[in-house]
Structure 1
């Protein structure tokens, strides 16, 4: 039995005669009659009562027609759904975020814009460090990610620079470097931090940014004293509020308004910046994720 046999059968059932059904199907009547007879022989019972001026369904034929109609409708629904998945209108995507990338408005606004365009795509978010993101992208466990500066050029993972922003210094309230600032935005040079206890995100979690900070400090003439390493930048800011050291974070992290801290402009910021990257598997085959990546690139282009 083929699907066309079901379509032929339903056409005859709906038209009530072979002539009109054949016209509707754009075929000759004798072949249509033969196809219906072949179908009846295959299933083992008569579908129609033949009359001089048409046909009517037998009780068995009526039941078969109801099931055949439902089967074809379900098949069409499956085809339509598959088309929508292929076009990226349905499906699921998993997006990885480092904690600092999540604080940049570009990230959240882009995800919101994608949800508006593709409301039926389920979006799963996972906050991870940079190393974890690259591992999961390579393993196909996430389909896109926002992170700062990757250093692991893993084969099969593509990176695209989205934007760059300056780093800022985070000091505890009452720090000596804040004296005389008044209501003005405090400015601090990197060299002025030479004798401070630094709080940084652990090197394995954010190797690119960790290396950049160390290199900038050396260029400023000192080796930073790393007092503590934390899993997330937010944790570092919290420790600064507790008076346990100072830290450097991307400017967008100022949205985390922790009591007891002061964000300071870093003088000569060209030496140290915080790029934001989009990462995704180079051989991506998830249509919804492909649409998301295209949207990200469109927003960057303006």
Structure 2
């Protein structure tokens, strides 16, 4: 089996189209078509259904795709490890960071670059749905994230610090005047929240479901942290969630946590890596420094 044929197959499977895959790889469409056909002959399997709209993986092809992607990931890891050895343990570090913890990352990264001035760092800022997806396909070495319970089977987690989550509202919100506030009262409010794939959103939805309530009425869904849009919360009766560390910032002025036990969640932040992946000496040193420079919350 030729390695280039495997790469051709993966590119076509990921794009669903020979033309787009050829542009991505810088190869001609006939070369990709021949490579995929050659691979199918060698495996004696039909990997794709050819349709007018593109290439669709068969059931067997989907299973092979999952395994082949793992092989490519392992090859990429082997190349990175060899390059690290060749370059004297200096290399590229790729880190995913939620917006709320960019300062913590930046301070620690500055210390790392003082110690390793030849190092290079790529930073992806985003919520954990985006970061976990990038981690799974090998585009990140590690990310700072809320810890999942239980952890996903393909991830390893290292706890760093606690930063609990609270439902918040503007000062003077009618909920603060209710004599016997209940979670059901929050279910009737309008909300600003991140998307459904984000851990914080799933945690909130689960709390409402556990109490026999419908999920929050999300009026505004944000691809960033809810706290980045607190001006909207401050100017309306919408509810959102924020971490304890966020509530200590100057921008939280005029906002309060809802005084209800069910409206808060314990949360640990930590380091997430892909299970079994290669971590360069640079990545391992950065992880050490993240532990040494944990923020005082």
Q: TM-score range by the shorter chain?
A: 0.5 to 0.7
**1:250·1:273 contact (CA, 8 Å) conserved in 2?**
no
Given the alignment of the two structures, is residue 225 of structure 1 paired with residue 201 of structure 2, yes or no?
A: no
**1:241·1:259 contact (CA, 8 Å) conserved in 2?**
no
Q: 2:201 aligns with which of 192, 207, 210?
A: 210
Match of 1:117 in 2: 115
1:128-171 CA distance string (max 9 Å, x none): 22122122222222212111244796565322222222222321
Aligned length: 208
Secondary structure of the corresponding residue to residue 258 of structure 1: helix
- For the pair shown, the structure with the greater C-alpha radius of gyration is 1
Match of 1:291 in 2: 285
**1:236·1:247 contact (CA, 8 Å) conserved in 2?**
no
Report matched runs for 1:245-264 at 5 Å. 245-258=238-251, 261-264=254-257
- List gaps (5 residues or longer) in structure 2: 1-82
Cα distance change on mapping 1:264 and 1:154 into 2, 3 Å: closer
**1:202·1:229 contact (CA, 8 Å) conserved in 2?**
yes
Secondary structure of the corresponding residue to residue 111 of structure 1: helix
1:273-294 CA distance string (max 9 Å, x none): 2321211233224221122123
CA distance in 2, matches of 1:297, 1:213: 28
**1:130·1:150 contact (CA, 8 Å) conserved in 2?**
no
1:198-225 CA distance string (max 9 Å, x none): 2111112x1x221211222345563332
Match of 1:143 in 2: 141
- How far 1:258 sits from its partner (Å)? 3.4
Which shifted more, 249-258 or 193-202?
249-258
- How far 1:246 sits from its partner (Å)? 0.8
Match of 1:158 in 2: 156
- How far 1:261 sits from its partner (Å)? 4.0
- How far 1:95 sits from its partner (Å)? 1.0
CA distance in 1, matches of 2:160, 2:117: 24
Report matched runs for 1:91-102 at 5 Å. 91-102=91-102
Secondary structure of the corresponding residue to residue 119 of structure 1: coil
CA distance in 1, matches of 2:210, 2:87: 51
What is the root-mean-square deviation in Å for CA atoms of aligned residues?
Answer: 3.5
Secondary structure of the corresponding residue to residue 245 of structure 1: coil
- List gaps (5 residues or longer) in structure 1: 1-80, 181-187
1:48-99 CA distance string (max 9 Å, x none): xxxxxxxxxxxxxxxxxxxxxxxxxxxxxxxxx9769444xx3221211122
